[in-house]
Amino acid sequence: KRVDGCIISCTPTKSEDVKVILDYEIPVVFLYREKQGKRMSSVVFDSRKDGEKAAEYLLSKGAKSLGIVKGNSENYDAELRLEGFREGLRKGGIELDENYIWEGSFEREPAYIAVREFLDKKLPLPDAIFAGNDWSAIGVMDALKEAGYHVPEDVMVLGVDDIEQDMWYNPTLSTIKTGFEEQGAIAVRRLLSLMNEEEGTVERLVGNLIERESTMVKGKN
């Protein structure tokens, strides 16, 4: 009991460690899973909604075939973004082909490797690729450019997060801004509430679409 409360942001946190915290009734706020109780709150990104929004946006840009570079399979946000993306495509009358789901680990190099391996299979190129975060999206564009393709003329690319590097890359990266700063600020307020013995809550933050060059094909709105 050397802390009055804690915020847990890391997915690999062991369940037995979390149990210790809860057993001692230490107030805790989770940033990667939905938990609510007398001493628990969560402040998470609405990643399912963000995935669905990504699908709807890319379909509105004229995409007929789409791929996704997702994060680690055990990651909360990665799985929900995939589920939301799949559902958004389904609502648009498109089923996501399993050949167009690639593991990117939320990192630039794994995403680059995943796309290069896909290109080596000589399968038809999708009209658009949704990446689980912006670093993955940059890796996707690295692979496409190296293979001689142009973004967005040949393939549109959309990321998630709105990191600073999005504005440096050529073309600039369209993304869904998630708001890490807002999540952190809300988490602190929720923790203080728990420490004042208020009931726990779950808050989901919906991202905002930011359109830049990587999805702005000439002649398309």
pLDDT at residue number 12: 62
pLDDT, tens only, 37-80: 889 999 999 999 999 999 999 999 999 999 999 998 778 899 99
**Which stretches of the chain drop beneath a pLDDT of 70?**
1, 11-13, 219-221
CA-to-CA separations, 77 to 23, 28, 32, 46, 82, in angstroms, rounded = 26, 19, 7, 8, 9
- Cβ-proximal residues to 221 (8 Å cutoff; 6+ apart), any chain: none
pLDDT at residue number 65: 97
Q: What letter does residue 106 receive in the DSSP assignment?
A: T
pLDDT at residue number 170: 96
Specify the pairing of strand 40-45 against strand 28-30: parallel
Q: State which H helix or E strand residue 211 sits in.
A: none
pLDDT at residue number 188: 97
pLDDT at residue number 204: 96
Q: What letter does residue 159 receive in the DSSP assignment?
A: E
Residue 100 has which token pair?
């167009």
**Rounded to whole angstroms, how far apart are CA atoms 155 and 137?**
12
Nearest CA to 214 out of 123, 147, 134 is that of 134
pLDDT at residue number 162: 96
pLDDT at residue number 49: 97
How many residues are there in the chain? 221
User: Phi/psi at 45 (nearest 5 deg)?
Assistant: -75, 140
